[in-house]
Amino acid sequence: MNNWKSLILLLVAMVIGCGEVEQAEQSNVETPKALVPGVDIPLNPQGDIRPKPKPKPRLNLEPEAPPQRLVNTAGVIQPEVTKLLEQIDQSRLEGPTVVAWIMDRSKSASNMVDGVRLQVQYYYDELMIEREKLALDESSEIEHHHLHTTVYSFGEAIECNLPLSDELPEAKDALASVSVDNSGIENSFTALKAAFNEVKEIRVEHGWEVFFVVVTDEAGDDQQIAEELRPELAKYAVPLYVVGVNAPFGKQAILPEHVEAGANGNTDRQFINQGPETRDLEQLLLAYPAAGLSMDTVDSGFGPFAWELLCRSSGGAFLGLKAPGYTSSMLSRPGSRPVALIGSYGGARMSKYAPDYVSRAKYDEMVQANGAVKALLDVAQLENIPTLMNYQVDFDGADVTRLNQALSQAQLMPAQIEPGLNAAYNILAAGEGDRSNLIKPRWQAGYDLAMGRILAAKSRVEGYNAMLAALKRGKVFENEGSTRWVLTPAEETEAGSALKKLGERAIEYLERVKAEHEGTPWAQMAEMELQIPVGWKWMEQ
């Protein structure tokens, strides 16, 4: 009996123990967390839970510096190009993307094109590495869109170096195949039109994103096509980006003609068209009154007009490079030191001075609507306006006869200069009554600077002539030992009240430009003009 009781007690204990173990195991099970609608479960009960995408890897678009033996003027990493590649890469990650590279084959642009190509080819190398990794990753749940590329290049003729392709090695090879053209002619807009016609159907039929990227340092010799392309780019929402060189302020070129000389085996100089930043020239072309003063190479802060017009109207941008790869020999002119675009006039301050990016018809309408604007454009068409240069200021007063002969000879220069200056002044004076109606800062600064400079030139030239005439009428040395008369620039003139008033008007205009347009090229030019006084006085030695 006792054995049976012991056995029963043992069985009961085992049953109770198993229950405790089971209860203990159940207590370790986690309570299911609540599912969040729209995150863990669909808002629509009939829908499917969308898998959370993996973070999209971003490419490193800053290539390492090349070995020292490879560093040259083309080895500069351009931040503007890096930002552009980042935009292209972001578009590629979001959907199928086409980029059309349109490269300048001119001699002047060769270093810049090589530098941009270095960065672009590095980007394609990164894409090739990414594509190889994705090919090995069979578990990837995200669709990775290919970048499609077409490459065009231009000189006098247009070449399609690569029809539209998603093969990255082909794109790299096509970029490397762009060669230098020696014609000195850049039909850049024709090349852009050809690229647009190639990819337009893909944009319409498939809705792929399209980037046009032109790499050039010139304004183009076929700018009339820009008016044709402008509505097309806007209609299809295709942005144009131009990697290039800002236009020189109010000028057509910075590089001298010899840079592209030797075209087709001859030694003719080829004009290099790099500006201006406006539709038409809007600046008085007048030399400065002293050696060493020059504003020929001021950075306007804007690209050449036709490129800037297309970029803005299409939603793209003109990317002006600070280091376009120009060498000292390219920037040198006979008898002078190398020059380069000077000044930095970008940013918010210059935005209100932007040229009028409107059609030719609208621009002409604006010009005709205001006499001051019309006068400024008319005077800008005058070439080689004369001014005092290399004039005689030292005269021997010991012999009156010889003195008068020297004075008469010196008066020949102002006699030759005055008609040209008066013609320019009369044009500007005809529009002076409409000056108060100017609203846009660019037109205000432009007219005031032109009028101030022409008045200053007239004051100096007419004052010089008047001072010579006064000395011919007779003037006695105050110091007994003096033998020479020296004509010296002065703030106040001794040539009469009319010339004094002329000089005061000049200073008034120039000072207004400085005060109202501080930090702009107009203010810098006004300050330079004011460095040389507009009056004269005689000093004896």
In this predicted structure, the answer to whether residue 190 has a pLDDT above a threshold of 80 is yes
Model confidence over 389-446: pLDDT tens digits?
Answer: 889 999 998 889 999 999 999 999 999 999 999 999 999 999 999 999 999 999 999 9
Beta strand pairing call for 240-244 and 209-215:
parallel
In this predicted structure, the answer to whether residue 465 has a pLDDT above a threshold of 90 is yes
Give me 69's structure tokens.
Answer: 């033996």
* Integer angstrom CA distances of residue 275 from 12, 255, 260, 263, 478: 103, 11, 17, 21, 55
pLDDT of the residue at 251? 83
Tell me the CATH number of domain 70-357, given options 3.60.150.10, 3.40.50.1820, 3.40.50.410, 3.30.110.70. Answer: 3.40.50.410
Task: Of 58, 116, 118, give the one whose Cα is nearest residue 88.
Answer: 58
Neighbours of 41 (CB within 10 A): 13
* Token pair 């006792």 in the structure block, residue: 2
pLDDT band at 493; cut points 50, 70, 90: confident
Average pLDDT over residues 134-162: 83
In this predicted structure, the answer to whether residue 208 has a pLDDT above a threshold of 90 is yes
* Integer angstrom CA distances of residue 250 from 113, 163, 302, 365, 420: 25, 38, 11, 21, 21
pLDDT of the residue at 199? 96
Average pLDDT over residues 330-339: 50
Q: In what order do the strands lie in the sheet with 209-215?
A: 158-165, 147-154, 97-104, 209-215, 240-244, 317-320
CA-CA distance, 414 to 120, in Å (whole number)?
57
CA-CA distance, 246 to 320, in Å (whole number)?
5
DSSP category for residue 99: E
CA-CA distance, 196 to 314, in Å (whole number)?
13
Beta strand pairing call for 484-490 and 535-540:
antiparallel
Strand ranges inside 12-53, DSSP E:
none
In the chain, the percentage of residues whose pLDDT exceeds 90 is: 60
Contact yes or no for 495/468 (Cβ under 8 A): no
pLDDT band at 77; cut points 50, 70, 90: confident
Neighbours of 486 (CB within 10 A): 14
Contact yes or no for 229/214 (Cβ under 8 A): no
Helix, strand or coil, per DSSP, at residue 211: strand
In this predicted structure, the answer to whether residue 73 has a pLDDT above a threshold of 80 is no
Beta bridge partners of 148: 98
Q: Which residues neighbour 294 within 8 Å (Cβ) at sequence distance 6 or greater?
A: 288
Task: Of 367, 385, 377, give the one whose Cα is nearest residue 423.
Answer: 385
- Phi (first) and psi of residue 174, to 5 degrees: -65, -40
Helix, strand or coil, per DSSP, at residue 227: helix
In this predicted structure, the answer to whether residue 76 has a pLDDT above a threshold of 90 is no
Neighbours of 327 (CB within 10 A): 12
Average pLDDT over residues 340-364: 82
pLDDT band at 495; cut points 50, 70, 90: confident
DSSP category for residue 204: H
Q: Which of residues 485 and 136 earns the better pLDDT score?
A: 485
Model confidence over 217-229: pLDDT tens digits?
Answer: 999 999 999 999 9
Task: Of 515, 463, 509, give the one whose Cα is nearest residue 490.
Answer: 463
In this predicted structure, the answer to whether residue 23 has a pLDDT above a threshold of 80 is no
In this predicted structure, the answer to whether residue 9 has a pLDDT above a threshold of 80 is no
Average pLDDT over residues 497-505: 93
Burial 248-287 (b: 16+ CB within 10 A, else e): bbbbebbbbebbbeebeeeeeebebbbbbbbbebbbbbbe
In this predicted structure, the answer to whether residue 48 has a pLDDT above a threshold of 60 is no
Task: Of 529, 511, 501, 3, give the one whose Cα is nearest residue 289.
Answer: 529
Strand ranges inside 292-401, DSSP E:
317-320, 394-396
Q: Determine which of 38-52, 120-134, 429-443 has the lowest per-residue pLDDT on average.
A: 38-52
CA-CA distance, 91 to 79, in Å (whole number)?
19
Contact yes or no for 459/506 (Cβ under 8 A): yes
Angle formed by the axes of helices 188-206 and 225-235, nearest 10°: 20
In this predicted structure, the answer to whether residue 38 has a pLDDT above a threshold of 80 is no
Model confidence over 264-310: pLDDT tens digits?
Answer: 444 454 567 888 999 999 999 888 876 555 666 778 889 999 999 99
pLDDT band at 14; cut points 50, 70, 90: very low
Q: Determine which of 110-119, 261-270, 300-309, 359-368 has the lowest per-residue pLDDT on average.
A: 261-270
pLDDT of the residue at 398? 86
Give me 39's structure tokens.
Answer: 């995150």
Q: Determine which of 118-132, 270-284, 323-337 has the lowest per-residue pLDDT on average.
A: 323-337
Give me 257's structure tokens.
Answer: 């003609």
* Integer angstrom CA distances of residue 356 from 198, 228, 308: 31, 18, 11
Mean pLDDT over each residue of the chain, to the nearest integer: 82
In this predicted structure, the answer to whether residue 207 has a pLDDT above a threshold of 50 is yes
pLDDT of the residue at 270? 58
In the chain, the percentage of residues whose pLDDT exceeds 70 is: 75
Average pLDDT over residues 161-173: 96
Model confidence over 140-152: pLDDT tens digits?
Answer: 554 557 899 999 9
In this predicted structure, the answer to whether residue 172 has a pLDDT above a threshold of 80 is yes
* Integer angstrom CA distances of residue 330 from 88, 109, 272, 324, 325: 33, 11, 12, 12, 10
Single pTM value for the model: 0.79
In this predicted structure, the answer to whether residue 477 has a pLDDT above a threshold of 70 is yes
Domain with CATH 3.40.50.410 in the chain: 70-357
Tell me how far the alpha carbon of residue 138 is from its chain's centroid.
46
Q: Give the DSSP H/E element, type plus range, for residue 190.
A: helix 188-206
